[in-house]
């Protein structure tokens, strides 16, 4: 059981490692997810996102390290972990011989936390025809059905592995609304997606994985404070003044272009910028794409 | 967010789950109904065809034409086969019964883990607070209960055809209860072994392939054991040595004692395989479906 007075974190992994022979799927992964956050997991295919989630849920047994959900050990107390978790797999596959109603009935019978009436409501919001047999549903329809099951389950931690994949824009927007509603209800959401704009719009915190390692963690609030300044100078770049050296990075190219990044308020910088021999200047938010590209851009 | 009280109550779990029980019956419904129809009709057809050959003619062929050495294959003396009870008993070793029992065991057993894992449906089931052992054992219970039902259908059909069919009054129907129980033993054994392989596998087709290979090997070793004097010991390694329903129709205590031995082996092996499968399934990694 979680100890009294512990920080409000619901997921904690410590040096979590999963190896398959010589292949390391998850490499000393340490991260924490705070209660009530929407936590984004980012990374290309094979980065370890799904392995991390599957280890949390007890599908996979870690080679070393530890993981807890709500204070329960993910290996030895998996039943307790899953009693507090609902999970949408990356590729949700359901019982093909059943229709949508029967699938919702099955999961409502399987666990008391899954509320049949809420599932019906969510299916309705996603414009899903539950009378159709799963075998005759499109991939997107099956995804909606799985979402209805997952989001109708009243537990503290919701894990969504690419929940908007295969969905049309309207359904995507509805799913993001549902995630926001879950957050407002006090739930924690772990959200894995390749659509960075969605993650940026909905998450409070993100972790970027590469080759099984957590290579970057950042709060979205911090991200929004960050700006990138593209400038072209008529003379050589004089370098970053001492006063900004700690929080302003700059890279200049031979054709007089300079790209600077900062995560501090812009106002003091603007005065200094005005003293530079500017030919042109453009200021833009850094954005998640730029952060992601630092770790995953080819070359 | 504080944990709602219904979640705290969910702790502990159970090794039986109603939702999975109902799911398992739904999954096996088509095969169950098909085999029930087959086994309901087969004894009537078999005995009607058998009755077309009069007993004296059958005895002439069996006792005078077929070499005595071939008795080794039947497992019982030809003199016992050449009786009404013996001829009815042959229905239990007919491929329609033996293969259907094996198909049931392999089909249902292979669907314990490898089937839903391959189809991807195990993923969301196990996301719920359900023990892996509950998923495995509930499916095993449903498979075993349905096997008992099928053997009940087979026995009922044999009973009614013996009581009211072409040889009515010549054989006591109760003599065939041990034979039907032996069919049940075979089904439990094959289902248990298949479930054990399935628990370690991720592809149902491979589990089915392994079990088909095992079954063919069991037939071959039994035949080699029967026919070869020098390699007679080989027969003892075949699990099918414990499937001899034609030897269980004597209607005496010896038949029941032999049934206890046969079904003790078959059901014992089946249950042991289920237990090993449950442990394997509880400990293994479950890869994401491809």
Q: Using one digit for the tens of pLDDT, what is the confidence trace for A215-232?
A: 999 898 888 888 888 888
Burial code (b: 16+ CB inside 10 Å, e: under 16) for B115-130 equals bbbbbbbbbbbbbbbb
Q: Nearest CA to A169 among A189, A192, A194, A140?
A: A140
B288/A154 touch (CB, cutoff 8 Å), yes or no: no
- Domain containing residue A211: 9-219
- Among candidates A90, A146, A154 on the partner chain, residue whose Cβ is nearest the Cβ of B4: A154
* Residue in chain B lying closest to A115 (CA): B6
For the segment A156-171, the average pLDDT, to the nearest whole number, is 94
pLDDT exceeds cutoff 80 at B69: no
Q: What is the pLDDT of residue B93?
A: 94
φ, ψ at B53 (rounded to 5°): -100, 115
Q: Which of B52-56, B64-68, B106-110 comes out lowest in average pLDDT?
A: B64-68
pLDDT exceeds cutoff 70 at A3: no
For the segment A89-108, the average pLDDT, to the nearest whole number, is 94
Q: What is the pLDDT of residue B4?
A: 53
Q: Mutual orientation of helices A116-125 and A100-110 as an angle, nearest 10°?
A: 140
Distance CA B194, CA B210 (A): 9
| Surface-to-core class of residue A253, CB atoms within 10 Å of its CB (0-12 exposed, 13-18 middle, 19+ buried) | exposed
Judge contact between B217 and B239, C-beta under 8 A.
no
pTM, 2 dp? 0.88
Both tokens of residue A172? 């995507």
Q: What is the pLDDT of residue B13?
A: 59
Q: How confident is the model at residue B166 (pLDDT cuts 50, 70, 90)?
A: confident
For the segment A71-97, the average pLDDT, to the nearest whole number, is 94
A57/B127 touch (CB, cutoff 8 Å), yes or no: yes
Q: What is the pLDDT of residue B7?
A: 52
Check whether residue A183 and residue A232 sit in a common domain.
no
Q: What is the pLDDT of residue A276?
A: 87
Distance CA A112, CA A108 (A): 6
**What percentage of residues in chain A have a pLDDT greater than 90?**
65
CATH of the domain at A116: 3.40.50.300
Residue A1 lies in a domain: no
B288/A89 touch (CB, cutoff 8 Å), yes or no: yes
Q: B18: which chain A residues are within 8 Å (Cβ-Cβ)?
A: 109
Q: A185: which chain B residues are within 8 Å (Cβ-Cβ)?
A: 1
Judge contact between B265 and B242, C-beta under 8 A.
yes
Is B113 at the interface with chain A, CB within 8 A?
Answer: no
Q: How confident is the model at residue A81 (pLDDT cuts 50, 70, 90)?
A: very high
Distance CA B267, CA B274 (A): 10
Shortest alpha-carbon distance between residue A168 and chain B (Å): 23
Distance CA A276, CA A263 (A): 20
Residue A204 lies in a domain: yes
* Residue in chain A lying closest to B128 (CA): A82
**What percentage of residues in chain B have a pLDDT greater than 70?**
94
Check whether residue A55 and residue A171 sit in a common domain.
yes
Kindly report, residue by residue over A45-79, the tens digit of the pLDDT.
Answer: 889 999 999 999 999 999 999 999 999 999 999 99
Task: Enumerate residues 6+ apart whose C-beta is below 8 A from B244.
Answer: B75, B182, B258, B262
Shortest alpha-carbon distance between residue B277 and chain A (Å): 17
Check whether residue A197 and residue A283 sit in a common domain.
no
pLDDT exceeds cutoff 60 at A274: yes
Q: What is the pLDDT of residue A1?
A: 46
B7/A113 touch (CB, cutoff 8 Å), yes or no: yes
Kindly report, residue by residue over A184-204, the tens digit of the pLDDT.
Answer: 999 999 999 988 889 999 999
A90/B23 touch (CB, cutoff 8 Å), yes or no: no
- Among candidates B7, B119, B130 on the partner chain, residue whose Cβ is nearest the Cβ of A110: B130
pLDDT exceeds cutoff 90 at A286: no
Q: What is the DSSP letter of A2?
A: P
Task: Enumerate residues 6+ apart whose C-beta is below 8 A from B10.
Answer: A83, A111, A112, A113, B129
Q: What is the pLDDT of residue B206?
A: 97
Residue A85 lies in a domain: yes
Between A258 and A125, name the one with better pLDDT.
A125
Q: Which of A185-194, B68-77, B217-226 comes out lowest in average pLDDT?
A: B68-77
Residue A80 lies in a domain: yes
Residue A92 lies in a domain: yes
Between A255 and B254, name the one with better pLDDT.
B254
Residue A4 lies in a domain: no
- Among candidates B11, B18, B126 on the partner chain, residue whose Cβ is nearest the Cβ of A59: B126
Beta bridge partners of A33: A11
A87/B119 touch (CB, cutoff 8 Å), yes or no: no
**Mean pLDDT, rounded, of chain B:** 90
Q: Nearest CA to A212 among A26, A50, A57, A59?
A: A26
CATH of the domain at A239: 3.30.70
Is B213 at the interface with chain A, CB within 8 A?
Answer: no
Check whether residue A213 and residue A233 sit in a common domain.
no
A213: left (phi over 0), alpha (psi -120 to 50) or beta: beta
| Surface-to-core class of residue A267, CB atoms within 10 Å of its CB (0-12 exposed, 13-18 middle, 19+ buried) | exposed
Distance CA B272, CA A27 (A): 38
* Residue in chain B lying closest to A62 (CA): B285
Q: What is the pLDDT of residue A299?
A: 54
Q: How confident is the model at residue A254 (pLDDT cuts 50, 70, 90)?
A: low
Q: What is the pLDDT of residue B290?
A: 72
B3/A156 touch (CB, cutoff 8 Å), yes or no: yes
Check whether residue A35 and residue A118 sit in a common domain.
yes
Query: Best mutation site among B129, B135, B139 for testing chain A: the one with the most A CBs within 10 Å?
Result: B129
Shortest alpha-carbon distance between residue A162 and chain B (Å): 14
Kindly report, residue by residue over B3-60, the tens digit of the pLDDT.
Answer: 555 454 444 457 889 999 999 999 999 999 999 999 999 999 999 998 888 877 777 7
A258: left (phi over 0), alpha (psi -120 to 50) or beta: beta
Query: Best mutation site among A35, A47, A82, A183 for testing chain B: the one with the most B CBs within 10 Å?
Result: A82
Q: What is the pLDDT of residue A149?
A: 97
Q: How confident is the model at residue B185 (pLDDT cuts 50, 70, 90)?
A: very high
Q: What is the pLDDT of residue A298?
A: 62
* Residue in chain B lying closest to A90 (CA): B288
Q: What is the pLDDT of residue A59?
A: 96
B288/A156 touch (CB, cutoff 8 Å), yes or no: no
B124/A89 touch (CB, cutoff 8 Å), yes or no: yes
Check whether residue A199 and residue A232 sit in a common domain.
no
pLDDT exceeds cutoff 50 at B165: yes
Distance CA A141, CA A130 (A): 9
**Final residue before a domain boundary, out of A219, A234, A253:** A219
Query: Looking at the 3D structure of chain A, how many domains does it have?
Result: 2
Between A251 and A32, name the one with better pLDDT.
A32
Residue A129 lies in a domain: yes
Kindly report, residue by residue over B236-274, the tens digit of the pLDDT.
Answer: 889 999 999 999 998 889 999 999 999 999 999 999 999
Check whether residue A141 and residue A260 sit in a common domain.
no
Helix/strand/coil (H, E, C) string of A262-295? ECCCCHHHHHHHHCCCEEEEEEEECHHHHHHHHH
Check whether residue A17 and residue A38 sit in a common domain.
yes
Sheet containing A227-233, strands listed edge to edge, beginning at the edge strand earlier in sequence: A248-252, A257-262, A227-233, A278-285
pLDDT exceeds cutoff 60 at A7: no
Check whether residue A193 and residue A46 sit in a common domain.
yes
For the segment A236-259, the average pLDDT, to the nearest whole number, is 80
Measured in residues, chain A has a length of 299
Check whether residue A62 and residue A194 sit in a common domain.
yes
For the segment B162-171, the average pLDDT, to the nearest whole number, is 89
**Final residue before a domain boundary, out of A174, A202, A219:** A219
For the segment A279-299, the average pLDDT, to the nearest whole number, is 81
Check whether residue A91 and residue A145 sit in a common domain.
yes
Q: What is the pLDDT of residue B241?
A: 92
For the segment A112-141, the average pLDDT, to the nearest whole number, is 96
For the segment B211-217, the average pLDDT, to the nearest whole number, is 97
Asked casually if ipTM beats, i.e. exceeds, 0.90, the reply is no
- Among candidates A83, A89, A149 on the partner chain, residue whose Cβ is nearest the Cβ of B129: A83
**Final residue before a domain boundary, out of A219, A235, A257:** A219
For the segment A224-250, the average pLDDT, to the nearest whole number, is 84
Shortest alpha-carbon distance between residue A57 and chain B (Å): 7
Residue A2 lies in a domain: no
Check whether residue A209 and residue A255 sit in a common domain.
no
Using CA atoms in the order A91, A94, A96, A97, what is the torsion angle rounded to 10 degrees?
A: 180
Is B134 at the interface with chain A, CB within 8 A?
Answer: no
Identify the residue whose tokens are 């453009």: A282
Using CA atoms in the order A120, A123, A125, A126, what is the torsion angle rounded to 10 degrees?
A: 180
Pairing outcome for strands A72-73 and A85-88: unpaired
């Amino acid at each position: 059981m979680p100890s009294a007075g512990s920080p409000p974190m619901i997921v904690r992994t410590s040096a979590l490692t999963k190896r398959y022979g010589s292949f390391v799927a998850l490499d000393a992964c340490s991260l924490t997810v705070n209660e009530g956050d929407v936590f984004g997991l980012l990374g290309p295919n094979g980065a370890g996102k799904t392995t991390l989630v599957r280890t949390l849920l007890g599908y996979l047994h870690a080679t070393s390290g530890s993981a807890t959900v709500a204070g329960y050990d993910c290996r030895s107390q998996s039943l307790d972990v899953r009693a507090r978790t609902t999970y949408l797999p990356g590729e949700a596959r359901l019982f093909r011989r059943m229709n949508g109603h029967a699938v919702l009935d099955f999961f409502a019978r399987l666990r008391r936390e899954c509320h049949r009436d809420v599932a019906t409501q969510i299916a309705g919001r996603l414009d899903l025809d539950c009378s159709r047999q799963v075998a005759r549903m499109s991939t997107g329809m099956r995804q909606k059905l799985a979402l209805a099951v997952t989001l109708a389950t009243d537990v503290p931690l919701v894990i969504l592995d690419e929940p908007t994949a295969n969905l049309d824009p309207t359904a995507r927007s509805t799913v993001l609304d549902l995630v926001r509603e879950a957050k407002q209800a006090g739930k924690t959401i772990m959200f894995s997606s390749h659509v960075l704009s969605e993650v940026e719009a909905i998450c409070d915190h993100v972790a970027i994985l590469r080759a099984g390692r957590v290579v970057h963690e950042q709060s979205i609030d911090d991200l929004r404070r960050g700006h990138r300044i593209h400038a072209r100078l008529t003379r050589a770049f004089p370098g970053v003044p001492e006063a900004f050296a700690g929080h302003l990075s700059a890279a200049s190219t031979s054709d007089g272009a300079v790209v600077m990044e900062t995560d501090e308020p812009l106002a003091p910088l603007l005065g200094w910028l005005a003293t530079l021999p500017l030919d042109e200047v453009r200021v833009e938010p850094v954005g998640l794409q730029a952060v992601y590209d630092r770790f995953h851009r080819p070359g | 967010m504080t944990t709602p009280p219904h979640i705290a109550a969910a702790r502990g779990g159970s090794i039986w789950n109603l939702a999975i029980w109902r799911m398992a019956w739904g999954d096996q419904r088509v095969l169950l109904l098909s085999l029930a129809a087959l086994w309901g009709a087969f004894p009537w057809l078999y005995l009607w065809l058998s009755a077309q050959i009069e007993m004296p003619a059958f005895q002439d062929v069996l006792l005078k034409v077929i070499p005595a050495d071939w008795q080794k294959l039947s497992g019982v003396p030809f003199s016992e086969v050449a009786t009404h009870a013996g001829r009815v008993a042959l229905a239990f070793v007919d491929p329609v019964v033996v293969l259907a029992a094996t198909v049931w065991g392999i089909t249902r057993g292979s669907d314990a883990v490898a089937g839903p894992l391959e189809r991807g449906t195990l993923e969301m089931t196990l996301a719920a607070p359900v023990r892996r052992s509950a998923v495995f054992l509930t499916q095993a219970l449903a498979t075993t209960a349905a096997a008992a039902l099928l053997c009940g259908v087979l026995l009922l059909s044999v009973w009614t055809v013996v009581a009211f069919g072409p040889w009515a009054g010549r054989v006591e129907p109760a003599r065939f209860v041990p034979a039907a129980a032996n069919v049940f033993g075979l089904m439990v054994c094959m289902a248990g072994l298949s479930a054990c392989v399935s628990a370690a596998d991720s592809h149902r087709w491979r589990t089915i392939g392994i079990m088909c290979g095992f079954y063919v090997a069991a037939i071959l070793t039994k035949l080699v054991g029967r026919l070869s004097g020098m390699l007679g010991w080989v027969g003892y390694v075949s699990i099918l040595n414990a499937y001899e329903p034609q030897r269980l129709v004597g209607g005496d205590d010896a038949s029941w004692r032999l049934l206890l031995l046969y079904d003790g082996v078959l059901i014992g092996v089946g249950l042991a395989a289920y237990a090993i499968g449950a442990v394997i399934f509880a400990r293994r990694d479950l890869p994401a479906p491809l």
